[in-house]
Chains A and B, each alone.
Chain A
Amino acid sequence: MVPITTTHYLVVAAALFVLGVIGVLTRRNVVIVLMSIELILNAVNLNLVAFSRMWGLHGQVFAIFVVVDAAAEAAVGLGILIAFFRNKETINVDEIDLLKW
């Protein structure tokens, strides 16, 4: 078996990133769009940790900051979602068009 190199991890992370992009662009449910954003952030984290294997611990520290950002983003996004659901009774992205002229 070939030994596992950094490129293997990068390919897995790219696959997760592409799946997250597809989820963000195609799904109508806002909750699943937010989950796809978490997928994208996880792909970035996997890249950072894979590179920190070669170039020191800075990548892992940055991955922790990305996790902090993901937590903040999920909290605020879901708060906006609850506020919107209370007003419009929908969680579909194509029906959320209050700012559309």
Chain B
Amino acid sequence: MNPVATPFFFYLLSTLAILGGVMVIVRRNAVHSAIALIVTLLSVAGLYLMLYAPFVAGVQIIVYAGGIMVLFLFVIMLVNIDRSMKERAFNKQWWIAIAAAVALGALFVSVFVKSKGLFPERGLPLAEESNTQQIGLYLYGNYMFAFEIASLLLLVAIIGAVVMAKKRI
């Protein structure tokens, strides 16, 4: 199967993702940041689809855009104070932070340029139809112990969040 207009959709989705990321960190209102983060998450889900990973794309939309972002919006509504709209949104040492982050990005790009020949440019043909089935086989076969540990982690996180957020136990 040969997908059509792949470069166009790649550039569209990655532009949307990066624009959403910029909006997340520059908006003063936290609700706007959350909406921009949802745009970024959905574009990254589209990129997963382009990488022949439909199950991860579905998990991204359901868990991230559906679950985690609702949690974020609830907490924004609970702790939203008008005071934070009036005072400054950035730390005092913002220029050091931006310089360090730009240096980190330059390091990334230089590593990518240097290691261009290290990995194959063309991927092996992954079966798209049986993607979910194969991931399930890995999860319950190869990675079963890690899967159980992940469920334990979620249980601990649920109990911890309830203990933190409750007024008195």
Contacts and interface: CB of A to CB of B under 8 A. Distances in A.
Instruction: Say if A and B assemble together.
Output: yes
B56 A63 contact: yes
B86 interface: no
B56 A64 contact: yes
Contacts of A50: 51
Contacts of A96: none
Contacts of A65: 143, 146, 150
Interface in A48-96: 49-58, 60-61, 63-65, 67-76, 78-83, 85-86, 89, 91-94
Contact of A15 (B68, B105, B119, B163): B105
Given A21-B101, A67-B60, A11 B18 contact: no
Given A75-B161, A78-B71, A32 B33 contact: yes
A69 B157 CA distance: 9
Contact of B105 (A6, A14, A34, A81): A14
A82 B104 contact: no
A101 B33 CA distance: 33
Contact of B90 (A2, A27, A31, A69): A27
A76 B25 contact: no
Contact of B84 (A29, A39, A54, A61): A29
A98 interface: no
Contacts, number: 242
A5 B112 CA distance: 12
B10 A18 contact: no
A6 B47 contact: no
Contacts of B55: 60, 64
A82 B164 CA distance: 8
Interface in B68-92: 68, 71-72, 75-76, 78-79, 81, 84, 87-92
B123 A34 contact: no
Interface of A: 1-12, 14-23, 25-29, 31-32, 34-36, 38-39, 42, 45-46, 49-58, 60-61, 63-65, 67-76, 78-83, 85-86, 89, 91-94
Interface of B: 6-8, 10, 14, 17-18, 21-22, 24-25, 30, 33-34, 37, 40-41, 44, 47-48, 50-53, 55-56, 59-60, 63-64, 67-68, 71-72, 75-76, 78-79, 81, 84, 87-94, 97-98, 100-102, 104-105, 108-109, 112, 116, 119-121, 123-124, 126, 131, 134-135, 138-139, 142-143, 146, 150, 153-154, 156-158, 160-165, 167
